Chains A and B, each alone.
Chain A
Amino acid sequence: MFSLYKKELQGYFFSPIAYVFIGLVMLIFSGFFVWWIFTATSSQVEFQFSYFFYYNILLTTILLIPILTMRAFAEERKNGTEVLLLASPLSVSKIVLAKFLAVATVLVIAMIVSFIYPVVASIYGYVVIPNLIASYVGYLLYGLAYIALGLMVSSFVATPGLAMLLSVAASLVLFFMELMLGSSFLASLPVFSDVLYWFSNQAKFENFTQGFCQLSDLVSYVTEIIVFLLWTIISIEKRRFSHS
């Protein structure tokens, strides 16, 4: 399993994909960071990364994570290399896990690089450390959930481009679900809007940016990741049964 993980990771870093991803994440971070400073009203700003994180994480996950995940299974299928993995002594769940961990590693590297902003901020201002840590934990979990979603979509289709479009669409649906909750129509259906609220990723993330690491939020993110990964495994196993 480690060799597949290593190969996947090399695949990201020997091609421009990982650099494009990390570069774009940094670009978005920088943009918001600069905008934050420009709109500062006093020289002694309290950097509460909550608001800062809230906006750019949405952009990174929804638009950028599909860049990483689109090729994972779709390209293997397109090039016929899936057979190599299936004929190897690795089980399907290990294959999925190795790919998931490889993408997760790229995300973690992007997060480590983005640490430069809190460091700079702490020199010139004041950083609320607990908020920062909680925000990063939330950011990681939120990202992992969308990586799992992207992998799942990639295992459904045979072309990376289509996988990317569908992942973006699926992520947007999850994203807009929460905005819809604010509408008066959904507010008039309390049970329905409650159920939607339970599945909202942003609401949980907001708790993290406030500095709360709640067990319920952790469990719900982890469950979401597990559900998407299991679905990926099932979709690959199903294709083994029905398709040559």
Chain B
Amino acid sequence: MVEIKNLTKYYGRKAAVKNISFNIEDNEILGFLGPNGAGKSTTLNIICGVIPSTSGTVTINGYDIENDPVKAKKCIGFLPEIPPVYTDMKVGEYLMFVAGLRGVPGAKRRSHVERVMNRMNISDVSKRLIGNLSKGYRQRVGFAQALIGDPKIIILDEPTVGLDPSQLIEVRNLILELKRDHSVILSSHILSEISAVCDRVVIINHGEIQAIDTIANLEDSSQSNIVLKLKVQGSSREVAKTAMHVDGVVRVSNITFVKTGVYTYDVEVKDKNVRNSLLSALLYNKLDVLEVSEERKSLEQIFVNLVNQPEGKRKSLKELVDEMENEADQQAEDASSGAETEAADENKEV
């Protein structure tokens, strides 16, 4: 378990990290999310004891990283942004060196390194120079390095940068597998990566924590209403009217013309059960429903809004979600008034 309390780091006068506190429980994957330059790497480097903090404490399995660095560092496996590999060493040789560095007893070293190489699927390149390996393999060697010595806590700083899609999936599965007997901190600026594997997310920007929550909670908080995307054949005016009469429909917005008589609509409903009554109401009125899909207000949007706030006027997650909804309301009104005039035009034509 890792405990981070009131962590602050100044580079000269510039604060890279301001008063950050959070915990990592055992067997948990914690996502560390933020744009480039948000202070992710700085925080991770402090946790690993690579750089000291200006103030605040980091406790790893009960050992303070400043006061008890040797014991604390033995509990951590760290994969920095750039894999720390010596290009003039062979893979096996390099991992043996890391095992020695981490204090793996000499007698067990070889078998331990072989186990890690098998796990990372790099046994076949163990006799090759790291400098001659492709980026994906190099990343895997870096990964293997972090697993040497079976540390309880594994810290990965942007582990998927530069990997191809199949390697990406491989790394994801590996991280999920690590969860069984390790705690993992995973930093990234790519949200889908985090939401695919993490239990909890810490969103950080300008050195400050913007949100700490589970993925599900974050999505819920951003999603009081569900948006159904409909494609219906028939007069847009009639569709909007019918839909609005159904109980639980909040608004109909974003009506766009597809071809004559066919429009798409964004219908915001209170919960999923409204969908069936909405569809039956439309069908009852002889309106042909061509397509229905559910759109989730994406976490991505929340994240982008969170991190793109101008400094000094930062708001909490809750305020932001409210604001986004208000904006959506405004758009809906504009759109529906636009659609009505359009529909009127169409009626004239008929």
Which A residues are closer than 8 A to B by beta carbons? 2-4, 6-7, 10-11, 14-15, 79-91, 240-244
Contacts and interface: CB of A to CB of B under 8 A. Distances in A.
A240 B78 CA distance: 17
A4 B100 CA distance: 8
A244 B50 CA distance: 9
Contacts of A244: 11, 16, 41-42, 45, 51
Contact of B84 (A14, A80, A91): A80
Contacts of B88: 11, 14-15
B87 A79 contact: yes
A7 B93 CA distance: 9
B103 A89 contact: yes
Given A79-B86, A244-B16, A87 B76 contact: yes
B102 A7 contact: no
B324 interface: no
A166 B108 CA distance: 43
B312 interface: no
Contact of A90 (B11, B84, B101): B101
5 contacts: A81-B84, A86-B51, A87-B76, A244-B11, A244-B16
Give the top 5 A-B pairs by smallest Cβ distance, nearest first. Answer: A3-B100, A84-B84, A80-B82, A81-B84, A88-B101
Interface string B300-323: 000000000000000000000000
Contacts of B87: 79
A160 to B, nearest CB: 13
A6 B94 CA distance: 12
A242 B16 CA distance: 11
Given A2-B100, A89-B69, 5 more contacts: A3-B101, A4-B100, A7-B97, A89-B70, A91-B70
B48 interface: yes
Contacts of A243: 11, 51
Contacts of A87: 48-50, 73, 76, 78, 80
Interface in B263-291: none
Contacts of A82: 84
A84 B98 contact: yes
Contacts of A15: 88
B80 A241 contact: no
B85 interface: yes
Contacts of A81: 84-86
Contacts of B57: none
Nearest to A15: B88
B80 A83 contact: yes
Contacts of A240: 50-52
B165 interface: no
A170 to B, nearest CB: 27
Contacts of B50: 83, 86-87, 240
Contacts of A6: 97, 100
A89 B102 contact: yes
A141 B180 CA distance: 54
B41 to A, nearest CB: 7
B233 interface: no
Contacts of B73: 87-89
Contacts of B89: 7, 11
B228 to A, nearest CB: 47
B80 A80 contact: yes
Contacts of B229: none
A3 B97 contact: yes
B47 to A, nearest CB: 10
A77 B129 CA distance: 20
Contacts of A84: 80, 84, 98, 101, 145
Contacts of A4: 97, 100-101
A41 B206 CA distance: 79
B189 interface: no
B112 interface: no
Contacts of B11: 242-244
A114 B81 CA distance: 45
A83 B100 CA distance: 16
Contacts of A14: 88
B78 A83 contact: yes
Contacts of B97: 3-4, 6-7
Nearest to B88: A15
Contacts of B52: 240-241
Contacts of B99: 3
